[in-house]
Structure 1
Amino acid sequence: LFGTPSFTGNVNILRRTTISERPSPRIRCNAQAAPSRRTANYQPNLWPDDRIQSLTSSSATVEDKRKTKGIDDLKEDVRKLIYEKKELEDQLQLVDHLQQLDDIDDVLRCIYGSLEDINKLLKDDLHATALVFRLLRDNGFDVSEDLFNRFRDEKGDFKASLQHETKGILSLYEASYVAKEGELVLDRAMDFTTMHLKCLVEKGSLDPRLREHVAHALEIPLHWRMQRSHARWFIEAYQREATMNPVVLELAKLDFNVVQGMYKGELRELSKWWTNLELAQKLSFFRDRLTENFLWTVGCAFEPQFWEYREIQTKENCFIAMLDDVYDIYGTLNALELFTEAIERWDANAIDQLPDYMKLCFLAIFNAANETGYRVMKEKGLDIIPCLRKAWTDLCKAFLLEAKWYNQGH
Structure 2
Amino acid sequence: MHFRILRQHHYCVSSSVFNKFKGKDGKFEEILSRDAKGLLSLLEASQVRIHSEDILEEGLVFATHHLNFLAPTLEGPFKEQVNRALEQAHPGLSRIEACKYISFYGNDSSHNKEILELAILDLNYAQNLYRKELHDLSWWWNNIDLKSKLPYARDRVVEIYFWGLGVSFEPQNSLARLALAKFTLIIIVLDDTYDNYATIEEAETFTEVLQRWDINEIDRLPNYMKIFYKFIWNTYEELACEASKEGRSFVMPYIRETVKELSRAYNQELKWFMEMEMPTLEAYNSNAIITGTVFLCFAATLLGIKSASEQVFEWLKSRPKIANVCSMIGRLLDDKGSHEHEDRGWELLTAVTMYMKQHGATKQETLNKFSEMVEDLWKD
TM-score range (shorter-chain normalised) is 0.5 to 0.7
Shift of 1:291: 1.7
Of 207, 210, 216, which aligns to 2:78?
Answer: 210
Using the size of structure 1 for normalisation, the TM-score is: 0.62
For 1:362, give the aligned amino acid.
Y
Aligned pairs for 1:235-274 (under 5 A) are 235-274=102-141
**Corresponding residue for 1:279?**
146
Unaligned runs of 5+ in 2: 277-346, 350-380
CA offsets per residue over residues 314-351 of structure 1, 9 Å max, x none?
21122222222222222222222322333333232334
Higher relative contact order (CA 8 A, sep 6+): 1
Aligned pairs for 1:387-406 (under 5 A) are 387-406=254-273
Of 373, 379, 382, which aligns to 2:246?
Answer: 379
Is contact 1:339-1:351 (8 Å) kept?
A: no
TM-aligned CA distance change 1:352 to 1:238, over 3 Å: same
Aligned pairs for 1:83-102 (under 5 A) are none
Is contact 2:78-2:104 (8 Å) kept?
A: no
Is contact 1:312-1:372 (8 Å) kept?
A: yes
Identity of aligned residues (%): 38
Q: Could you tell me how far apart the structure 1 residues matched to 2:27 and 2:233 are?
A: 56
Unaligned runs of 5+ in 1: 1-130
Using the size of structure 2 for normalisation, the TM-score is: 0.67
Q: Could you tell me how far apart the structure 2 residues matched to 1:279 and 1:315 are?
A: 13
User: Root-mean-square deviation (CA), in Å?
Assistant: 2.2
Greater shift, 182-191 or 374-383, is seen at 374-383
More helix by share: 2
Of 317, 326, 332, which aligns to 2:199?
Answer: 332
Shift of 1:143: 0.6
TM-aligned CA distance change 1:167 to 1:269, over 3 Å: same
SS in 2 for 1:352: helix
SS in 1 for 2:246: helix
CA offsets per residue over residues 296-324 of structure 1, 9 Å max, x none?
11222121111111221121122222222
Of 202, 214, 232, which aligns to 1:347?
Answer: 214
TM-aligned CA distance change 1:336 to 1:213, over 3 Å: same
Q: Larger C-alpha radius of gyration, 1 or 2?
A: 1
**Corresponding residue for 2:12?**
142
**Corresponding residue for 2:156?**
289
Is contact 2:191-2:266 (8 Å) kept?
A: yes
CA offsets per residue over residues 125-172 of structure 1, 9 Å max, x none?
xxxxxx000001101112111111222345543333322222111111
Is contact 2:7-2:13 (8 Å) kept?
A: yes
TM-aligned CA distance change 1:392 to 1:207, over 3 Å: same
SS in 2 for 1:285: coil
Number of aligned residues: 277
TM-aligned CA distance change 1:188 to 1:291, over 3 Å: same
Of 18, 27, 31, which aligns to 1:161?
Answer: 31
